[in-house]
Amino acid sequence: MTTNPQETTPNDWDTRSPDVQADQVAAYDAMRSKCPVAHDDYMGYSLLKNADIKYALEHPEIFSNKVSTRHIAVPNGMDAPEHTAFRAVNDKYFTPDRMQVFEPQIRQVVKSLVSKLPRNEVFDAMDGFAQLYAVRIQNVFMGWPASLEQPLIEWVEKNRRATLAGDREQMGKIALEFDGYIRALLDERRGADAAADITAELIQDVIDLPQDLGGPRTMTDEELISLIRNWTVGELSTVSACAGIILAFLAEHPQEQDRLRTSLAVGKTAEIAAAVEEVMRLQDPLVTNRRVTTQPVEIGGRSIPAGAKVTINWASANRDEDAFEDATTYNPHRSQENNLVYGQGLHVCPGAPLARLELRVLMEELLATTDLIEFGGANPTQNAVYPAAGYSKVLTRIS
């Protein structure tokens, strides 16, 4: 019989409790000071300190990304050398040259969406705008049809609910539904009149695997679907959260709005980029990632056995007082050396260049086409619950 290494470990908290979910950021801040490596049955050992998380990221041979033996996850659920080969193909789609070519397309999408926002009336930014913003940019980037927008929005919401409920049977059905969308897109791009887009390129890409792993080859459909799922699901949920986080931040800081509008008017776009980076640090759009230990390890003063589930808590790491002076205070001119919004090391977020571009353009267009962004009414925000980040409601008024 195989023993679960966490069965006899006492719990320090319950990450799914109403108290934690009511305000995840505050709960993680509080636990970080009391118990920097906190255990519970759902997340296993949560690493909450910036330095401890950096150690885990720097030692993938101890903290493995291969957390599932049932499903492949390309490339984020792989370890080297397999990860290295798949990541090389992944990264060629997020080069500076590609981002420069794609920027006008992103800006056109964002301009159109922002221009349709209601003026001088209260609306919920999370209901319609945030999700549509994420899906539409993703579709344009991948070369997918507009008819896929609504199914993807609905799919993301179904997936979120099933994940929150821990309903593995439903999660499996939802995953198969997504696979069906992607298989259809792949089949269309194998025809004689196939569109020349990223999805079509991926079909032809060669993974330069070492000989002991089979040698160079193209990806299987299962691998293609997994890679595309990683891009799509990761981007849609986090970028949607980012839209709400940015709008809520601007509404809460009218003086910073004015400063950034002035910077934008004189072409200082670096100020916008710096503001986005700091806003994301304060309220990370991705709460956690998983790891599994390959050997016993001591970290943060705690002994963790081999085979244990470990959770990297990005939201906590980026508000760590030992990593940032006045960590919970907005300061766009601070050093971002310890900012782990996009991770670090071998598994640094592959889509970081695209995310930074999307968010900079979003903030630029919001500021350029408005005079004031403010909250609408009492209790204008409602915190999202795990696995989502940011807000589930942002009541906003723009003029």
**Is residue 4 domain-resident?**
no
pLDDT the model gives residue 44: 98
Res. 311 pLDDT band, cuts 50 70 90? very high
Amino acid at 7: E
Highest mean pLDDT among 146-150, 237-241, 285-289: 285-289
**CA–CA separation, 320 vs 48, rounded Å?**
8
User: Do the Cβ atoms of 242 and 359 come closer than 8 Å?
Assistant: yes
Are the C-beta atoms of 305 and 37 separated by less than 8 Å? Answer: no
Model pLDDT, residue 1: 30
* Reported confidence tier of residue 194, pLDDT bands at 50, 70, 90: confident
pLDDT band at 2 (very low <50, low <70, confident <90, very high): very low
| pLDDT at residue 3 is higher than 90 | no
Instruction: For the chain, give the mean pLDDT.
Output: 93
Query: Average pLDDT, stretch 89-94?
Result: 96
Please say whether the beta carbons of 287 and 389 come within 8 A. Answer: yes
User: Is residue 81 a contact partner of residue 64, using CB atoms and an 8 Å limit?
Assistant: no
40 in any annotated domain: yes
Please say if the pLDDT value at position 99 is more than 80.
Answer: yes
Q: What is the domain range of residue 138?
A: 18-398
Q: Is 297 a domain residue?
A: yes
User: What confidence score (pLDDT) does residue 13 get?
Assistant: 98
In a domain, 10, yes or no: no
Q: Report yes or no on 12 lying in a domain.
A: no
pTM for this entry: 0.93
Which band of pLDDT confidence, cut at 50, 70 and 90, is reported for residue 5? low
Binned at pLDDT 50, 70 and 90, residue 124 comes out as: very high
280 neighbors 242 (Cβ within 8 angstroms): yes
Per residue, what are the HEC states of 80-97?
CCHHHHHHHHHHHHHCHH
Q: Which of 102, 92, 79 is CA-nearest to residue 206?
A: 92
Residue 9 lies inside a defined structural domain of this protein: no
Reported residue count of the chain is 399
The closest alpha carbon to 40, from 313, 344, 284, 306, belongs to: 313
Output the pLDDT for position 367.
98
Nearest Cα neighbor of 393 from 251, 233, 231, 273 is 251
User: Can you tell me the mean pLDDT for 284-313?
Assistant: 97
Which of 202-206, 231-235, 263-267, 392-396 is least confident?
A: 231-235
Mean pLDDT for 54-78 is 92
Report yes or no on 76 lying in a domain.
yes
- DSSP notation for 230-264: HHHHHHHHHHHHHHHHHHHHHHH-HHHHHHHHHHH
What pLDDT is attached to residue 159?
80
pLDDT at 303: 97
Which segment of 15-19, 163-167, 302-306 scores lowest on mean pLDDT?
163-167
CATH number at residue 374: 1.10.630.10
Look at residue 388 and tell me whether its pLDDT is greater than 60. Answer: yes
Tell me, yes or no, whether 166 lies in a domain: yes
Considering only CA atoms, which of 343, 354, 392 is closest in space to residue 138?
354
Tens digit of pLDDT for each residue in 109-120?
A: 999 999 999 999
pLDDT in tens, 222-280: 999 999 988 887 678 899 999 999 999 999 999 999 999 999 999 999 999 999 999 99
Residue, of 7 and 260, whose pLDDT is higher:
260
pLDDT score for 4: 57
Q: How many structural domains does the chain have?
A: 1
